[in-house]
Amino acid sequence: MSLTILTADELQNLEMRAANQLGADTLMKRAGAAAAELIMKRLEDAGVEQRRVTLLVGPGNNGGDALACACELREKGAVVNVVLPGGRRPTSALALAQLERWTQAGGTTYDDPYMTEKADCVVDGLFGTGLAKPITGDCLDAVLWFNERQALKVSLDIPSGLNPVTGHWTGSYPGCSADVTITFLCVKSGLYMCEGADAAGEIVLNELDVSVPLSPLSVIGTDEFPRVLRPRVKNSHKGDYGSVAVIGGTDGMIGASILAARAALISGAGRVTLECRAEHAPHVDMVYPEIMFATKPVNLEDFDAIVLGCGLGTSAEAKARVIEALNCQKPLILDADALNIIAADIKLQDMVLARRAPTVLTPHPGEAARLLRRDTAGVTADRVAACRELAVQTGAIVVLKGAGTVISMRSSRTWINPTGSPMLATGGSGDVLAGMIGAMFAQGYDMVESVLAAVYFHGLSAEGLEAGFTAGEIAPNAMALVHDARVSYDL
């Protein structure tokens, strides 16, 4: 299922409404109970009998969640240690109430986590989404202690020190890196992107029995593209699944266009034609002879989708082909050199904006930076904002690739992709994605379904793999997963 992401203001308003309706401390108690249940279950599944848990308690409501969790764990029979780094008591009234609850139950506290006994689980309840400055002093020492532990590491709501929006660390020192982050009410975009993609570990959402409103930002779920998961009808032929033209592959970069064409074929397009721009272009792909090789420039209006840019080069002839494609009225996926050509000419950007047929841009951060006239750091500083800005600037659906790929429409409706693997950091991966998107369009899926499904399964194709993976394996793996989904499809 797709998951809603709220802005800081939206989340604060939701918490205030819940507090007014349920009572000021209800959400904190529910968060503590949810975290305790998760911890006990994980330790039980791991065969841990004694279940020793040490919790780091910060000064705000995140620390209050940790104290509520400590009370619940103690009631469940765990051996619990609570640490207030430097002996600093919470400053939040709600957290202070939970500290009183803990001490009245007979609990004690430590000032230094290094003075506690060995734990089977350590819990990060130092800082939540409200952290605005780098972690320092005793709390930084507690972060270092947390990261050093050979135990199950759990962060409450968000790893301490992580910006919940951008996924970057707040300050120059890394914060807590968890095995599991149990996040409350809604997921946070920073859990999926940049440093957050590694720091969060497994992400577990608990909405605390609160109705969470919809938002224009969410995490992709399979419910976003139901038609892609539906089995094909028996009474069909290749013409029903469309035709894709792949244009690129200049001298030295033929492989990029072949990877895109193969991906389009494997991803279900009825016919795929490759217009290879190299002087000595091949005439057949002996691995996939089903791909047709054009002997002259194709008529773009003859195709249901066009993938342009993979290994295209930036010559005058390549630019002329980009202009022709921008003038055609077919779905157009622009990648790699096509993006670089457009970035270098503001008139071409105006042509992209003027298009009425669906247009998809698939930049990596460097290409996005060129299109936005800024440096790459300006894009990665806030990937969601950069993707939205580029979508408004071009009128296209923008797929900003990277850890936590961001997809945005001109309306600012935005998604973050939860799937992916560092094994996708390999040459040709982006070419394959462009071909997969083209195939989805050719098969008649709508604009949003086409892009979200391709991005989602592209990322899923490499999950669980740690070595020995190349771009040519992405589309076959992805379509094997689509096959499994269709076989188990339930009307």
- The binding site for AMP consists of 401-405, 430
Q: Which residues are annotated as a binding site for (6S)-NADPHX?
A: 61-65, 128-134, 157, 256, 311, 364, 431
Q: Can you give the three-state secondary structure of 361-427, one letter per residue?
A: ECCCHHHHHHHHCCCHHHHHCCHHHHHHHHHHHHCCEEEECCCCCEEECCCCCEEECCCCCHHHCCC
**What residues form the annotated binding site for K(+)?**
62, 124, 160
Q: DSSP states of 300-359 as a string?
A: GGG-SEEEE-TT---SHHHHHHHHHHHHS-S-EEE-THHHHHHHT-HHHHHHHHH--S-E
Contact 402, 376 (CB under 8 A): no
CB 141 within 8 A of CB 110: no
Give, for 244, the enclosing helix (H) or strand (E).
strand 243-248
Let me know: does 28 contact 94? Beta carbons within 8 Å: yes
Residue numbers in the known binding site are 61-65, 124, 128-134, 157, 160, 256, 311, 364, 401-405, 430-431
Is the dihedral angle over the CA atoms 2, 382, 358, 428 positive or is it negative? negative
Longest dimension (CA), the chain: 83
